[in-house]
Amino acid sequence: MSRLTGAEVYVYGQIAEGLAIADDAQPTIERLREAGLILQDPFQPSGWVAVPFGEVETRLREIVQQQLELTTQQLAEIPLLVEQLRACHPMRARGGDGIAQWVDGKEAVNAAIALAVDSARHELLTAQPGPRPKRVISLSTDRDKDAVERGVVVRTLYSASSRSNPAAVERVNLLTAAGAAFRTLPRAFMRLIMVDREIAIIEDHADGRPSFEGAYLVRDRAVCGFFAAAFEIEWRLGLDWHSEEPTTQQRSTVTTPLQRTILRELCAGKDQQQIAKILGYSAKTVNTALSDLRTRLGVATVYQVVAWWAGPEGAAEQAIDQL
């Protein structure tokens, strides 16, 4: 109580003067008692006595301090409560209308993926851009092999850089023998895991850039259908893992698929370090690809390469991957 109402001031004054109080003033008396301004005294006409002025501030501070301590304790218990709930169910809502659930933390995401894949009945579609640790590849290999053996159609789209990853090569050879299919793309694409076109697990792009601290689990049929259609477009453009990568001479083009991807990313505002990270290549590989293209075009700088890409000859190269 920081200030008294008019009724409270009047009743307090009556008690301080030792006067009797009307019966209908009991609610006001109760508020004054809770505020620590009066004490019960059966020998007074009102049955109450005003707390001496010297003690009022001390009593009020004690009451507020107790309230603060209780609030602090409750705040400290909130994370513990959340952890208890998370242990029971790793997924929590993160806005939206229930179409998507946010899965918080890498371990929780891996657990959600495992549950989804284990429930697969017909189809498993996976798009995995960039490098993946050997431990993660091993876990997913056993899980996907079980799915193939259950009769699930398994198709995986990898970045072209994965062809040089020994763990990825071992996984592809094992699962291909079991009946799975793999293709590669030399350019950036979105990460996706799709089960029976009913469950999709996607990266968090809500803030305009991917976050790797968790993922969204989507169960909406329309949204999952859209993701599946997008996957099919990428799949058709991909190169079968066991096919030989086309060379510039084979395709009768000026640029390689990797060079075209790098140029698209450069035009999107990314630097060479960022492009290397996105595609899963080393910075040296990206620099070498650009250097080779400069030599082929007979120009000295990357800026001249980008200018060529934006011109009529470059436009013809840009259309190649859309055929």
- The answer to whether the CB of 177 falls within 8 A of the CB of 165 is no
Query: Tens digits of per-residue pLDDT, 153-210?
Result: 999 999 888 887 888 889 999 999 999 999 988 777 888 999 999 999 998 877 665 5
Q: What is the number of residues in the chain? A: 323
**pTM > 0.75:** no
Q: Residue with structure tokens 């060529």? A: 308
* Mean per-residue pLDDT, 240-253: 64
Strand partners, 181: 155
d(CA 180, CA 242): 12
Coil/strand/helix, residue 218: strand
d(CA 178, CA 186): 25
Under DSSP, the state recorded for 163 is G
Of 83-92, 164-173, 293-302, the one with minimum mean pLDDT is 83-92
The residue that leads in pLDDT, 113 or 79, is: 113
Distances (CA, A) of 186 to 212, 228, 238, 260: 22, 20, 8, 9
Of 9-13, 76-80, 173-177, 240-244, highest mean pLDDT: 173-177
Strand partners, 192: 127, 202
What are the backbone angles phi and psi of residue 256, rounded to the nearest 5°? Answer: -90, 165
d(CA 103, CA 122): 24
Neighbours of 174 (CB within 10 A): 15
Cα torsion through 85, 89, 94, 99, rounded to 10: -140
User: Per-residue DSSP letters for 167-190?
Assistant: HHHHHHHHHHHHT-EEEEESS---
Distances (CA, A) of 200 to 103, 116, 183, 228: 12, 9, 20, 9
Q: Residue with structure tokens 């055929």? A: 323
Both tokens assigned to 218: 């989507």
Q: Average model confidence (pLDDT) for the chain?
A: 81
* Mean per-residue pLDDT, 83-102: 58
Closest C-alpha among 134, 135, 181, 124 to residue 158: 181
